[in-house]
Amino acid sequence: MIHSQPMHIVIIGKAALERWGLAKMVSEKIENAEVVSLEDPQAVALQAVPADIVVLCLSQIDSDHENLSRLQDTLKRYARSRILILESVSEKQPFKNLSAYLSKGISGYVTSMDLPEVFEKCLNKLLSGNKYICPDGLEWLLGLAVQTKVETVTLTRNELNIAEQLLVGRSVTQIARESNRKASTISTIKKTILRKTNAKNIIMLGEVLKSGQSDVLVKSRKPAAVNMEHS
C-alpha cells in the first residue's frame, strides 16, 4: 500500500530475529515506511516524530502479568499511537488475553497462527484509521465459535407453550390469567425454561429457540384423564 506521507512504525519485541523479520515485511509491504526496532517499550525512538503504529510482540510463554505490563508501558510511552499486538499463542487458549488487551485500548490484534496477509491487512486498516481484529479472534469475541457438540434443550409442551407466549410479549400475569393458573406457577415455569435453555432473559431465550443454535426436544406427556361428568 502506498502512502503519500512517510509512515513511522515501531516494532517492539524481545526476540531480535522476530523484530528483524517483521521490519523486513513492513518495509516491503508498506511504501514510505520508516521502521524502528526496539526490545524494550521504554526505549526512546523517533524522538521528533511520533509513531503512527507500534507493533508490540507478545508471547503466551510469558506470564499474563508480564504481557499486560509490557502493554501498559507501551501505551504510556506511545499514548498517541495505534497499538497492534502480534501475539505468539498456544492452540489450547489462543485468545485468553484478547479481552484484557482490548480493554486497554489497542487498535489491532493478530496472532502467530495468522497468515502474513492477515498481518498486512491489519497494518493497512490501522494506517487508514480503522481497527482490526483477526477473524478467529473476532469470532471468539462474538461467541460464534463452531460448537463440536449440538446441545439439546428438553422442554415439555406446556413449557414450550409458555415460552412462545413470553416471546410475543405476554407477561407472567397475563399468561396466568388467560390459563387460569397462579402467577407464581407461571413464574416458576419461566425460571425453569430459562435455566434449561441457559438463557439470562427473554431475548436470549428467543435466540436459543429460533436461531437454530440448539435443538429443542419437546417431551410428550400422557394426556390427563378427562372428567366426563357434567352438572
Q: What share of the chain is helix, strand, coil (3-state, %, to 5)?
A: 40, 20, 40
Residue 213 has pLDDT above 70, yes or no: no
Q: Is the domain of 93 the same as that of 116?
A: yes
With contact defined as beta carbons under 8 Å apart, do 189 and 165 qualify? no
Rounded Cα–Cα distance for residues 224 and 186 (Å): 19
Confidence of residue 92 (pLDDT cuts 50, 70, 90): confident
Given this model, what pLDDT does residue 45 score? Answer: 53
Q: Is residue 229 part of a domain?
A: no
Question: Residue 225: helix, strand or coil by DSSP?
Answer: coil
Q: Is the domain of 94 the same as that of 182?
A: no
Given this model, what pLDDT does residue 75 score? Answer: 92
User: 126: which residues sit within 8 A by CB, 6+ positions away?
Assistant: 53, 82, 84, 107, 108, 132
Average pLDDT of span 152-177: 87
**Average pLDDT, rounded, for the chain:** 82
Q: Is residue 227 part of a domain?
A: no
Q: Is residue 191 part of a domain?
A: yes
AA identity, residue 214: S
Task: For cell 511520533, name the residue.
Answer: 50
Q: Is residue 215 part of a domain?
A: yes
Residue 108 has pLDDT above 80, yes or no: yes
Q: Is residue 49 part of a domain?
A: yes
Higher pLDDT, 180 or 212: 180
Q: Is residue 172 part of a domain?
A: yes
* 1-5, 26-30, 92-96, 187-191: least confident range: 1-5
Residue 3 has pLDDT above 70, yes or no: no
- Compute CA 50 distance to the chain's CA centroid, rounded to the nearest angstrom: 30
Rounded Cα–Cα distance for residues 60 and 63 (Å): 7
Q: Is residue 51 part of a domain?
A: yes
Q: Is residue 146 part of a domain?
A: no
Q: How many domains does the chain have?
A: 2
AA identity, residue 201: N
| Domain termination site, one of 118, 141, 164 | 141
Look up the domain containing 131 and give its range.
Answer: 7-141
